Structures are given as C-alpha cells and as structure tokens.
Structure 1
Amino acid sequence: MATLDFIVIGLFALALIGIIIWVLKQKQNNSADYFLGGRDATWLAIGASIFASNIGSEHLIGLAGAGASSGMAMAHWEIQGWMILILGWVFVPFYTRSMVYTMPEFLERRYNPQSRTILSFISLISYVLTKVAVTVYAGGLVFQQVFGIKELWGIDFFWIAAIGLVLLTALYTIVGGMKSVLYTSVLQTPILLLGSLIILVLGFKALGGWDEMMTACKSVVVNDYGDTMTQLIRDNRDPQYPWLGALIGSSIIGFWYWCT
C-alpha cells in the first residue's frame, strides 16, 4: 500500500470515530430513540442505512465471485430487492400503526411471549449463519489482502481483522443504537458506491470492454441444456438455478428479507 492509501483509510477511520462520538453524546430517552434513531432521521439517512446495511463485502467479494463462476442466474436473489417497495407502502404503515419496532415484538402482541422468543432465536441464528458470517469472512480477507499482513503476534491476521470488525461494529451499534447505524451508513454509502464504480471501470478495462465480456460469457455453457452464463432464465432442469425454483425461492426469501 502507498502512503496515499494509508491517508485515505486513516481519514475514513477518523470520520467514523467522529460520527460515533457525536452519536454517543446524543440523549436517548426511550426504546423508540434507541431502535428508531429518535424518529427524526431524514430520508437520506434512512436510504443510506438501508443501502449500507444490505451492501457489503459479501456482495463486492462473495456475490461478485459467485456471479463470475455461475453466471447471471445468480442475480435472481438480488432482483427481489424491489420488494422494499412493499415494505414502504404496506408493512411500514402497518408496523407504525401497531407501535412495534421489531417483528418478534409484533408476534408477542399478536400471540404470546413464546412466539417472540422463538422468532428471535431463529432470526439471530439464521442471520449469523447466512449473512454475518459471510460478511465477516469477506471483510477479514479484504483487510488481509489490502494490508498484506499474513501474521501478527503469531496469529493469522485474517482472524484479527475479522474479530476486530465484529467487536467494533457491535460496540458502536449496541452503545449508540439505530442512530449510530444511520449516520455511519451516511458515510459508508458514497464510499461503497464510488468504490464499486471504480472496480467496475477497472474490470471492464482489464477485460477489454463490455462486448469482450459478453462474448466470453456467452461461450461458456453452464449445463447440458445449452444455457450460457449470460442467461438469467435457465432451463427448469438446471441443477443449480431452475427458473421456476429460482423464481419462487428468491421471492419467498426476498419477502422475508425485505419486509419482515
């Protein structure tokens, strides 16, 4: 890494610390302040929070790698992001009228405390295993590759970076609540967008352009039924992404992910 790289990372870290300190100084009077950021967040902060909470190292590394190895059919799972419109038009007004902040809380009011405990347990386990673990793993790899450090104090630097990310994120989220997540996301979102754009441009430059990429991908047959990497809709006999299974499965998961 060059000196400029360290300066950029240092400035980002200082800005992040500054936001966290500012949030911690804000007074939080009740659970609404903690879970909803005091209800005074702007549309920009809310949008940035949704974006940054969904997009991370698991996308820039994990999904990008999965797409490169399996093709466009992988995009089925991301296309369901349109369901956030259902969240805004249908579910958010309902949650607001119900005066609940989380789905487990809603189940407790609708049914009983046991249902709240069960959903909380299932949600935590599934979230850790399907999203957090991948995000932390990819983040640890990024830090190891960026800094070029294999070991530190006799410990694989990957584990130091991964555990450090978990502890830092948990610290400012638990202490600062939703407001800390909101305003750190405002900082992270433009960096994610700019970084993704730079990666896209450099990638196309290395490949020789869009046409070269499409030509190369169209030449790769992914199953015994003639489908190529560029096809979003594959034969229903495809072992990985049969179009009907991918459509139904991604819709169910998308509805759960975005609306509950």
Structure 2
Amino acid sequence: MATLDWLIILAYLGLVGGLAGWVFRRRKDTPDDYFLANRNLGWFIVGASIFASNIGSEHLVGLAGSGATDGVALAHYELHAWCLLILAWVFVPFFMRSRVYTMPEFLERRFSPAARWVLSLISLVSYVLTKI
C-alpha cells in the first residue's frame, strides 16, 4: 500500500479512537445505556438494527441457492415475517414492562436460574449449528 493509504487508515483510526474516548468520558456506565441506548431509540432504528443483524450469508447466498434448486416454494421463509410482527405487537410491551434484556433473563425471573442456563445453551448450540 502507498503512504497515502496508510495515512488515511491512521487518520480514520485516530478519529474513531478519539470519538470513542470522548463518548466514554461523557456517558454513564449502566447496562441500560450500553445494551439498550438508555431505552430511548426510536422504533425505526431498533428495527433497522435487528434487520441488519439478521441478514447474513444464509440470506444472500443460501436462500438464493435454495430458490434456484427448489423453486419459489421456499419463499415462505420470508413471506411469513408478518407472524413475527404480530408476535412482537403482543409480547414486546410485556417484556418492556419486565425490564429484561434477553429471553434467558426473563426465564430466570419467571422460573429459575437453571431455566436461564438451559435456554442459553440451547440458543448457543442452535446458533452454531445453523451457521455451519
């Protein structure tokens, strides 16, 4: 790489590092601030973040390949997203009132710490197996 490339990279890293330091000194250190942006983000930002987090190689490559081999019948995977919207409309207010961050945390409050560990392990194993 040329000298100009290195200078641009260093300037970018310096800018990001300076911004991170400024925010770190300025903000409070609570779990609500870190994980939930102090619970004051709009629905569009949260929805866009969830959408961007879920789009991965299985969507861009996997579903296109499955559609090419199996036909349009595989589109039900994406066409049934309205079910998630209805479930969110029903359950999100309940979880917001519970002041929990994750489903395992909710299960711990509702049942026991063992239930939290079981769901955490099931989630981790299923996530790893679906990404292989």
Common topology (TM > 0.5):
yes
Task: Tell me how large the CA RMSD over aligned residues is.
Answer: 2.8
Match of 1:57 in 2: 57
Match of 1:93 in 2: 93
Tell me by how many angstroms 1:67 deviates: 0.7
Q: Does 1:115 align with 2:115?
A: yes
Instruction: Identify unmatched segments of 5+ residues in structure 1.
Output: 1-9, 135-260
Count of equivalent residues? 120
Kindly indicate which of the two structures has a greater share of residues assigned to helix.
Answer: 2
Residue 22 and residue 122 in structure 1: after superposition, are their counterparts in 2 closer, same or farther (change >3 A)? farther
Match of 2:33 in 1: 33
Describe the superposition over 1:148-205 as per-residue Cα deviations: whole angstroms up to 9, x where unpaired: xxxxxxxxxxxxxxxxxxxxxxxxxxxxxxxxxxxxxxxxxxxxxxxxxxxxxxxxxx
Give the TM-score taking structure 1 as reference length: 0.41
Residue 51 and residue 114 in structure 1: after superposition, are their counterparts in 2 closer, same or farther (change >3 A)? same
Tell me by how many angstroms 1:37 deviates: 2.3
3-state DSSP class of the match of 1:100?
coil
For 2:128 and 2:81, locate their aligned partners in 1 and report how far apart those are by CA, in whole Å: 20
Match of 2:125 in 1: 125
Structure 2 counterpart of 1:128, which letter? V
Tell me by how many angstroms 1:56 deviates: 2.2
Match of 2:66 in 1: 66
Give the TM-score taking structure 2 as reference length: 0.75
Match of 1:247 in 2: none
| Structure with larger RCO (C-alpha < 8 A, sep 6+) | 1
For 1:92 and 1:41, locate their aligned partners in 2 and report how far apart those are by CA, in whole Å: 15
Q: Which runs of 4+ in 1 moved over 4 A?
A: 20-24
Match of 1:153 in 2: none
Tell me by how many angstroms 1:21 deviates: 7.0
When structure 1 is superposed on structure 2, of 76-85 and 61-70 the one drifting more is 76-85
Contact 1:28 1:38 in 2 (8 A): no
For 1:32 and 1:128, locate their aligned partners in 2 and report how far apart those are by CA, in whole Å: 27
Instruction: Identify unmatched segments of 5+ residues in structure 2.
Output: 1-7
